[in-house]
Structure 1
Amino acid sequence: MTSQRIGYGRVSTSDQNPESQEDALAAASCDRRFIDKMSGTKASRPEWNACKEALRKGDTLVVTRLDRLGRSTKDLLDIAEYLEAKGVNLVATEQDGVDTTTPHGKMFFTILAAVAEFEHSMMKARTLDGLAAARARGRKGGRRAALSSRQVDAIRNLYETGEATVSEIAEAFKVSRPTIYRALESA
Protein backbone atom coordinates (compact mmCIF):
# COMPACT_ATOMS: atom_id res chain seq x y z
CA MET A 1 0.00 0.00 0.00
CA THR A 2 1.33 3.45 -0.88
CA SER A 3 1.77 6.15 1.70
CA GLN A 4 -0.91 8.79 2.06
CA ARG A 5 -1.09 12.41 3.11
CA ILE A 6 -3.76 12.61 5.78
CA GLY A 7 -4.97 16.01 6.91
CA TYR A 8 -6.26 16.97 10.33
CA GLY A 9 -7.82 20.24 11.45
CA ARG A 10 -9.73 21.58 14.40
CA VAL A 11 -11.91 24.61 15.04
CA SER A 12 -12.27 25.47 18.71
CA THR A 13 -15.52 27.43 18.74
CA SER A 14 -18.81 27.34 16.91
CA ASP A 15 -17.94 30.80 15.52
CA GLN A 16 -14.94 29.50 13.60
CA ASN A 17 -15.41 28.17 10.10
CA PRO A 18 -13.62 24.90 9.29
CA GLU A 19 -13.64 25.60 5.54
CA SER A 20 -10.32 27.50 5.52
CA GLN A 21 -8.55 24.51 7.09
CA GLU A 22 -10.35 22.08 4.79
CA ASP A 23 -9.27 24.17 1.77
CA ALA A 24 -5.66 24.35 3.00
CA LEU A 25 -5.53 20.59 3.56
CA ALA A 26 -7.00 19.97 0.10
CA ALA A 27 -4.38 22.33 -1.38
CA ALA A 28 -1.70 20.29 0.44
CA SER A 29 -2.84 17.25 -1.59
CA CYS A 30 -4.25 15.35 1.39
CA ASP A 31 -5.83 12.07 0.39
CA ARG A 32 -8.16 12.16 3.42
CA ARG A 33 -9.16 14.97 5.77
CA PHE A 34 -10.50 14.94 9.32
CA ILE A 35 -11.85 18.09 11.02
CA ASP A 36 -12.91 18.30 14.69
CA LYS A 37 -15.30 21.07 15.63
CA MET A 38 -14.54 21.53 19.34
CA SER A 39 -12.01 22.78 21.83
CA GLY A 40 -8.51 21.37 21.80
CA THR A 41 -8.66 21.07 25.55
CA LYS A 42 -11.43 18.48 25.37
CA ALA A 43 -10.16 14.94 25.70
CA SER A 44 -12.71 13.52 23.28
CA ARG A 45 -11.89 14.44 19.69
CA PRO A 46 -13.70 11.91 17.48
CA GLU A 47 -12.17 13.07 14.19
CA TRP A 48 -8.66 13.01 15.70
CA ASN A 49 -9.31 9.44 16.90
CA ALA A 50 -10.50 8.47 13.40
CA CYS A 51 -7.45 10.21 11.90
CA LYS A 52 -5.09 8.23 14.16
CA GLU A 53 -6.81 4.99 13.10
CA ALA A 54 -6.32 5.91 9.43
CA LEU A 55 -2.58 6.65 9.78
CA ARG A 56 -0.19 3.92 8.60
CA LYS A 57 3.57 3.59 8.57
CA GLY A 58 5.03 5.88 5.91
CA ASP A 59 2.02 8.24 5.89
CA THR A 60 2.33 11.97 6.49
CA LEU A 61 0.00 13.80 8.85
CA VAL A 62 -0.65 17.30 7.52
CA VAL A 63 -1.94 20.14 9.72
CA THR A 64 -2.15 23.84 8.96
CA ARG A 65 -0.62 24.89 12.30
CA LEU A 66 0.55 23.01 15.38
CA ASP A 67 -2.07 24.66 17.60
CA ARG A 68 -4.73 22.83 15.56
CA LEU A 69 -3.18 19.53 16.66
CA GLY A 70 -2.70 20.10 20.41
CA ARG A 71 -2.91 22.78 23.10
CA SER A 72 0.25 22.22 25.15
CA THR A 73 3.89 21.44 24.54
CA LYS A 74 3.47 18.14 26.36
CA ASP A 75 0.43 17.24 24.26
CA LEU A 76 2.22 18.08 21.01
CA LEU A 77 5.35 16.20 22.04
CA ASP A 78 3.24 13.17 23.04
CA ILE A 79 1.59 13.30 19.62
CA ALA A 80 4.99 13.61 17.93
CA GLU A 81 6.25 10.55 19.86
CA TYR A 82 3.11 8.62 18.91
CA LEU A 83 3.56 9.53 15.24
CA GLU A 84 7.27 8.66 15.31
CA ALA A 85 6.56 5.27 16.92
CA LYS A 86 3.95 4.60 14.25
CA GLY A 87 6.36 5.66 11.48
CA VAL A 88 4.26 8.68 10.48
CA ASN A 89 5.72 12.04 9.44
CA LEU A 90 4.27 15.41 10.46
CA VAL A 91 4.06 18.55 8.32
CA ALA A 92 2.53 21.92 9.28
CA THR A 93 1.74 23.80 6.06
CA GLU A 94 1.63 27.30 7.56
CA GLN A 95 4.74 26.87 9.72
CA ASP A 96 7.83 26.52 7.53
CA GLY A 97 10.36 24.11 8.94
CA VAL A 98 7.89 21.79 10.67
CA ASP A 99 8.65 18.55 8.89
CA THR A 100 9.60 15.74 11.24
CA THR A 101 11.29 13.74 8.51
CA THR A 102 14.46 15.74 9.22
CA PRO A 103 16.45 16.31 12.45
CA HIS A 104 16.16 20.06 11.87
CA GLY A 105 12.40 19.72 11.47
CA LYS A 106 12.13 17.73 14.72
CA MET A 107 14.06 20.41 16.61
CA PHE A 108 12.01 23.19 15.06
CA PHE A 109 8.80 21.36 15.96
CA THR A 110 9.86 21.15 19.63
CA ILE A 111 10.73 24.86 19.75
CA LEU A 112 7.48 25.89 18.05
CA ALA A 113 5.45 23.74 20.42
CA ALA A 114 7.09 25.47 23.41
CA VAL A 115 6.47 28.92 21.90
CA ALA A 116 2.83 28.06 21.16
CA GLU A 117 2.26 26.99 24.78
CA PHE A 118 4.01 30.13 26.05
CA GLU A 119 1.83 32.32 23.82
CA HIS A 120 -1.31 30.56 25.08
CA SER A 121 -0.21 31.03 28.71
CA MET A 122 0.50 34.72 28.13
CA MET A 123 -2.91 35.25 26.51
CA LYS A 124 -4.58 33.55 29.46
CA ALA A 125 -2.61 35.72 31.92
CA ARG A 126 -3.54 38.91 30.04
CA THR A 127 -7.20 37.91 30.09
CA LEU A 128 -7.11 37.25 33.84
CA ASP A 129 -5.29 40.58 34.41
CA GLY A 130 -7.94 42.39 32.37
CA LEU A 131 -10.76 40.77 34.34
CA ALA A 132 -9.08 41.68 37.65
CA ALA A 133 -8.61 45.29 36.52
CA ALA A 134 -12.27 45.50 35.47
CA ARG A 135 -13.37 44.11 38.84
CA ALA A 136 -11.15 46.67 40.61
CA ARG A 137 -13.00 49.41 38.69
CA GLY A 138 -16.30 47.98 39.93
CA ARG A 139 -17.36 46.11 36.82
CA LYS A 140 -18.89 42.69 37.12
CA GLY A 141 -18.47 39.89 34.63
CA GLY A 142 -21.27 37.86 33.15
CA ARG A 143 -24.67 38.87 31.94
CA ARG A 144 -27.20 40.99 33.78
CA ALA A 145 -29.67 39.33 36.10
CA ALA A 146 -32.97 38.46 34.42
CA LEU A 147 -34.91 39.86 37.37
CA SER A 148 -34.34 42.86 39.63
CA SER A 149 -34.63 42.51 43.42
CA ARG A 150 -37.95 44.37 43.24
CA GLN A 151 -39.25 41.84 40.68
CA VAL A 152 -38.05 38.93 42.84
CA ASP A 153 -39.99 40.38 45.80
CA ALA A 154 -43.12 40.68 43.63
CA ILE A 155 -42.69 37.11 42.36
CA ARG A 156 -42.31 35.80 45.89
CA ASN A 157 -45.44 37.67 46.97
CA LEU A 158 -47.49 36.33 44.04
CA TYR A 159 -46.33 32.78 44.67
CA GLU A 160 -46.64 32.76 48.47
CA THR A 161 -50.14 34.27 48.43
CA GLY A 162 -51.23 31.77 45.79
CA GLU A 163 -52.35 34.52 43.41
CA ALA A 164 -50.50 32.90 40.49
CA THR A 165 -48.82 29.65 39.51
CA VAL A 166 -45.16 29.47 38.56
CA SER A 167 -46.14 29.17 34.89
CA GLU A 168 -48.37 32.25 35.09
CA ILE A 169 -45.65 34.23 36.87
CA ALA A 170 -43.06 33.19 34.28
CA GLU A 171 -45.36 34.26 31.46
CA ALA A 172 -46.12 37.60 33.14
CA PHE A 173 -42.42 38.40 33.70
CA LYS A 174 -41.37 36.95 30.30
CA VAL A 175 -38.83 34.55 31.80
CA SER A 176 -38.59 30.77 32.03
CA ARG A 177 -40.06 28.68 34.83
CA PRO A 178 -36.56 27.66 36.05
CA THR A 179 -35.75 31.38 36.41
CA ILE A 180 -38.81 31.77 38.63
CA TYR A 181 -37.80 28.75 40.73
CA ARG A 182 -34.26 30.16 41.14
CA ALA A 183 -35.74 33.52 42.20
CA LEU A 184 -37.92 31.78 44.79
CA GLU A 185 -34.97 29.77 46.12
CA SER A 186 -32.67 32.80 46.33
CA ALA A 187 -34.46 34.41 49.23
Structure 2
Amino acid sequence: MRIGYARVSTEDQTTDLQLDALKAAGCHPIFQDTISGASRKRAGLEQALATIKPGGRLVVWKLDRLGRDFRDLNDIADELHARGAHFISLTEGIDTSSPVGEVIFRLLSVFADFERGVIIERTRAGLRAARARGVRLGRRPKLTPEQVAEASAMLAGKASAEEVAQQFGVDRSTVYRLKSRRISDITFRDEEPASQML
Protein backbone atom coordinates (compact mmCIF):
# COMPACT_ATOMS: atom_id res chain seq x y z
CA MET A 1 0.00 0.00 0.00
CA ARG A 2 1.36 3.38 -1.00
CA ILE A 3 0.25 6.39 1.02
CA GLY A 4 1.03 9.81 -0.43
CA TYR A 5 1.94 12.99 1.41
CA ALA A 6 2.05 16.47 -0.12
CA ARG A 7 2.94 19.76 1.56
CA VAL A 8 3.21 23.43 0.67
CA SER A 9 4.26 26.22 3.03
CA THR A 10 1.63 28.88 2.25
CA GLU A 11 -1.89 29.25 0.88
CA ASP A 12 -0.41 30.96 -2.20
CA GLN A 13 1.27 27.73 -3.27
CA THR A 14 -0.40 24.71 -4.82
CA THR A 15 0.09 20.95 -4.37
CA ASP A 16 -1.06 20.17 -7.94
CA LEU A 17 2.37 19.07 -9.19
CA GLN A 18 2.92 16.88 -6.15
CA LEU A 19 -0.55 15.35 -6.34
CA ASP A 20 -0.14 14.48 -10.03
CA ALA A 21 3.17 12.72 -9.31
CA LEU A 22 1.79 10.88 -6.27
CA LYS A 23 -1.28 9.68 -8.14
CA ALA A 24 0.89 8.50 -11.04
CA ALA A 25 2.96 6.54 -8.49
CA GLY A 26 -0.18 4.70 -7.36
CA CYS A 27 -0.68 6.46 -4.02
CA HIS A 28 -4.01 6.20 -2.22
CA PRO A 29 -4.95 7.84 0.03
CA ILE A 30 -3.00 11.11 -0.21
CA PHE A 31 -2.73 13.43 2.78
CA GLN A 32 -1.86 17.13 2.57
CA ASP A 33 -0.61 20.00 4.72
CA THR A 34 -0.35 23.74 4.16
CA ILE A 35 2.24 24.62 6.75
CA SER A 36 5.96 25.29 7.07
CA GLY A 37 8.12 22.17 7.09
CA ALA A 38 9.81 23.54 10.20
CA SER A 39 6.59 23.02 12.16
CA ARG A 40 6.41 19.79 14.13
CA LYS A 41 2.60 19.84 14.17
CA ARG A 42 1.43 18.68 10.74
CA ALA A 43 -2.04 17.15 10.83
CA GLY A 44 -1.80 15.64 7.36
CA LEU A 45 1.52 13.95 8.09
CA GLU A 46 0.24 12.63 11.41
CA GLN A 47 -2.77 11.14 9.62
CA ALA A 48 -0.52 9.54 7.01
CA LEU A 49 1.71 7.99 9.67
CA ALA A 50 -1.30 6.74 11.62
CA THR A 51 -2.74 5.14 8.48
CA ILE A 52 0.34 3.31 7.24
CA LYS A 53 0.57 -0.43 7.88
CA PRO A 54 3.53 -2.85 8.04
CA GLY A 55 4.98 -3.26 4.57
CA GLY A 56 3.44 0.01 3.43
CA ARG A 57 5.22 2.93 1.79
CA LEU A 58 4.99 6.64 2.61
CA VAL A 59 5.58 8.44 -0.68
CA VAL A 60 6.52 12.08 -1.21
CA TRP A 61 7.31 14.01 -4.36
CA LYS A 62 10.54 15.41 -2.93
CA LEU A 63 12.54 14.94 0.27
CA ASP A 64 12.04 18.49 1.53
CA ARG A 65 8.24 18.00 1.45
CA LEU A 66 8.61 15.57 4.36
CA GLY A 67 10.81 17.68 6.64
CA ARG A 68 13.18 20.64 6.82
CA ASP A 69 16.03 19.27 8.92
CA PHE A 70 18.02 16.10 9.52
CA ARG A 71 16.53 15.39 12.95
CA ASP A 72 12.96 15.66 11.69
CA LEU A 73 13.59 13.42 8.68
CA ASN A 74 15.37 10.86 10.85
CA ASP A 75 12.55 10.84 13.39
CA ILE A 76 10.01 10.16 10.65
CA ALA A 77 12.21 7.46 9.07
CA ASP A 78 12.67 5.81 12.48
CA GLU A 79 8.91 5.87 13.13
CA LEU A 80 8.25 4.26 9.76
CA HIS A 81 10.91 1.63 10.47
CA ALA A 82 9.31 0.86 13.85
CA ARG A 83 5.99 0.34 12.06
CA GLY A 84 7.60 -1.99 9.53
CA ALA A 85 6.99 0.56 6.79
CA HIS A 86 9.26 2.36 4.34
CA PHE A 87 9.72 5.73 2.67
CA ILE A 88 9.90 6.69 -1.01
CA SER A 89 10.94 10.03 -2.48
CA LEU A 90 10.06 10.20 -6.17
CA THR A 91 12.36 13.04 -7.22
CA GLU A 92 15.49 11.70 -5.55
CA GLY A 93 14.68 8.07 -6.40
CA ILE A 94 14.93 6.96 -2.76
CA ASP A 95 13.29 3.77 -1.50
CA THR A 96 14.30 2.80 2.04
CA SER A 97 13.03 -0.76 1.60
CA SER A 98 16.50 -1.55 0.22
CA PRO A 99 19.78 -1.13 2.17
CA VAL A 100 21.16 1.15 -0.55
CA GLY A 101 18.04 3.28 -0.49
CA GLU A 102 18.28 3.59 3.29
CA VAL A 103 21.90 4.77 3.11
CA ILE A 104 21.12 7.26 0.33
CA PHE A 105 18.21 8.63 2.36
CA ARG A 106 20.38 9.19 5.44
CA LEU A 107 23.12 10.85 3.36
CA LEU A 108 20.73 13.15 1.51
CA SER A 109 19.10 14.08 4.82
CA VAL A 110 22.48 15.18 6.16
CA PHE A 111 23.24 17.22 3.04
CA ALA A 112 19.78 18.82 3.07
CA ASP A 113 20.27 19.84 6.69
CA PHE A 114 23.73 21.21 5.93
CA GLU A 115 22.45 23.22 2.96
CA ARG A 116 19.67 24.74 5.05
CA GLY A 117 22.18 25.70 7.75
CA VAL A 118 24.39 27.43 5.17
CA ILE A 119 21.42 29.38 3.79
CA ILE A 120 20.42 30.52 7.29
CA GLU A 121 23.97 31.64 8.10
CA ARG A 122 24.28 33.54 4.80
CA THR A 123 20.98 35.29 5.51
CA ARG A 124 22.11 36.29 8.99
CA ALA A 125 25.44 37.55 7.66
CA GLY A 126 23.64 39.60 5.01
CA LEU A 127 21.36 41.16 7.64
CA ARG A 128 24.34 42.02 9.85
CA ALA A 129 26.13 43.64 6.90
CA ALA A 130 23.02 45.62 5.98
CA ARG A 131 22.64 46.90 9.54
CA ALA A 132 26.31 47.90 9.60
CA ARG A 133 25.71 49.99 6.45
CA GLY A 134 22.80 51.71 8.15
CA VAL A 135 20.10 50.03 6.09
CA ARG A 136 16.76 50.02 7.85
CA LEU A 137 15.29 46.52 7.97
CA GLY A 138 11.81 45.27 8.69
CA ARG A 139 8.37 45.93 7.33
CA ARG A 140 7.73 49.01 5.27
CA PRO A 141 6.33 51.78 7.52
CA LYS A 142 2.63 52.45 7.06
CA LEU A 143 2.62 56.21 7.66
CA THR A 144 4.69 59.05 6.24
CA PRO A 145 5.93 61.81 8.58
CA GLU A 146 3.12 64.08 7.34
CA GLN A 147 0.52 61.39 8.02
CA VAL A 148 1.93 60.82 11.51
CA ALA A 149 1.61 64.54 12.27
CA GLU A 150 -1.93 64.65 10.91
CA ALA A 151 -2.97 61.50 12.77
CA SER A 152 -1.47 62.86 16.00
CA ALA A 153 -3.42 66.08 15.56
CA MET A 154 -6.62 64.10 15.04
CA LEU A 155 -5.99 62.09 18.19
CA ALA A 156 -5.22 65.26 20.13
CA GLY A 157 -8.54 66.61 18.86
CA LYS A 158 -10.29 63.64 20.46
CA ALA A 159 -10.79 61.59 17.29
CA SER A 160 -11.14 57.89 18.07
CA ALA A 161 -8.53 55.31 17.05
CA GLU A 162 -11.12 53.73 14.75
CA GLU A 163 -11.72 57.06 12.98
CA VAL A 164 -8.00 57.69 12.51
CA ALA A 165 -7.41 54.13 11.28
CA GLN A 166 -10.21 54.49 8.74
CA GLN A 167 -8.93 57.89 7.59
CA PHE A 168 -5.45 56.54 6.76
CA GLY A 169 -6.38 52.99 5.79
CA VAL A 170 -4.36 51.31 8.54
CA ASP A 171 -5.14 48.88 11.32
CA ARG A 172 -6.20 50.17 14.71
CA SER A 173 -3.03 48.62 16.19
CA THR A 174 -0.98 51.13 14.17
CA VAL A 175 -2.96 54.00 15.66
CA TYR A 176 -2.65 52.56 19.18
CA ARG A 177 1.13 52.45 18.76
CA LEU A 178 1.02 56.07 17.63
CA LYS A 179 -0.95 57.01 20.73
CA SER A 180 1.46 55.22 23.06
CA ARG A 181 4.71 56.59 21.60
CA ARG A 182 6.18 59.98 20.98
CA ILE A 183 6.29 61.07 17.34
CA SER A 184 10.07 60.74 17.41
CA ASP A 185 9.69 57.01 18.08
CA ILE A 186 7.61 56.41 14.96
CA THR A 187 9.31 54.75 11.99
CA PHE A 188 8.80 56.72 8.79
CA ARG A 189 9.05 55.77 5.15
CA ASP A 190 12.28 57.76 4.77
CA GLU A 191 15.59 56.13 5.52
CA GLU A 192 16.65 58.86 7.93
CA PRO A 193 15.94 58.27 11.65
CA ALA A 194 12.76 59.94 12.87
CA SER A 195 14.69 62.22 15.23
CA GLN A 196 16.38 63.80 12.21
CA MET A 197 13.07 64.35 10.48
CA LEU A 198 11.63 66.61 13.17
TM-score normalized by the length of structure 1: 0.88
Query: How many angstroms does 1:84 deviate by?
Result: 0.8
Task: Give the secondary-structure state (helix, strand or coil) at the position aligned to 1:10.
Answer: strand
- In the other structure, the counterpart of 1:110 is 106
- In the other structure, the counterpart of 2:196 is none
- In the other structure, the counterpart of 1:182 is 177
- In the other structure, the counterpart of 2:3 is 6
- In the other structure, the counterpart of 1:38 is 35
Structure 1 unmatched runs, 5+: none
Counterpart CA distance in 1 for 2:73 and 2:171 is: 44
Task: Give the secondary-structure state (helix, strand or coil) at the position aligned to 1:7.
Answer: strand
Counterpart CA distance in 2 for 1:15 and 1:126 is: 26
Deviations 1:103-123 (A, max 9, x none): 111111110000010111111
Are 1:152 and 1:184, in contact at CA under 8 Å, matched by a contact in 2?
A: no
Query: How many angstroms does 1:25 deviate by?
Result: 0.4
Are 1:22 and 1:35, in contact at CA under 8 Å, matched by a contact in 2?
A: no
| Percent of matched pairs sharing the same residue | 41
Deviations 1:100-147 (A, max 9, x none): 111111111110000010111111112222222222332222222222
Counterpart CA distance in 1 for 2:40 and 2:108 is: 22
1:1-150 pair list within 5 angstroms: 4-96=1-93, 98-150=94-146
Correspondent of 2:168 among 155, 159, 173 = 173
Q: Given residue 95 of structure 1, which amino acid in structure 2 is its aligned partner?
A: E
Counterpart CA distance in 2 for 1:6 and 1:139 is: 48
Q: Given residue 183 of structure 1, which amino acid in structure 2 is its aligned partner?
A: L
Counterpart CA distance in 2 for 1:168 and 1:103 is: 67
TM-score normalized by the length of structure 2: 0.84
Task: Give the secondary-structure state (helix, strand or coil) at the position aligned to 1:6.
Answer: strand
Query: How many angstroms does 1:149 deviate by?
Result: 4.2
Counterpart CA distance in 1 for 2:172 and 2:62 is: 46
Are 1:64 and 1:93, in contact at CA under 8 Å, matched by a contact in 2?
A: yes
Task: Give the secondary-structure state (helix, strand or coil) at the position aligned to 1:110.
Answer: helix
Structure 2 unmatched runs, 5+: 183-198
May I ask how many residue pairs the two structures share in their alignment?
182
Are 1:12 and 1:38, in contact at CA under 8 Å, matched by a contact in 2?
A: yes
Counterpart CA distance in 2 for 1:144 and 1:123 is: 24
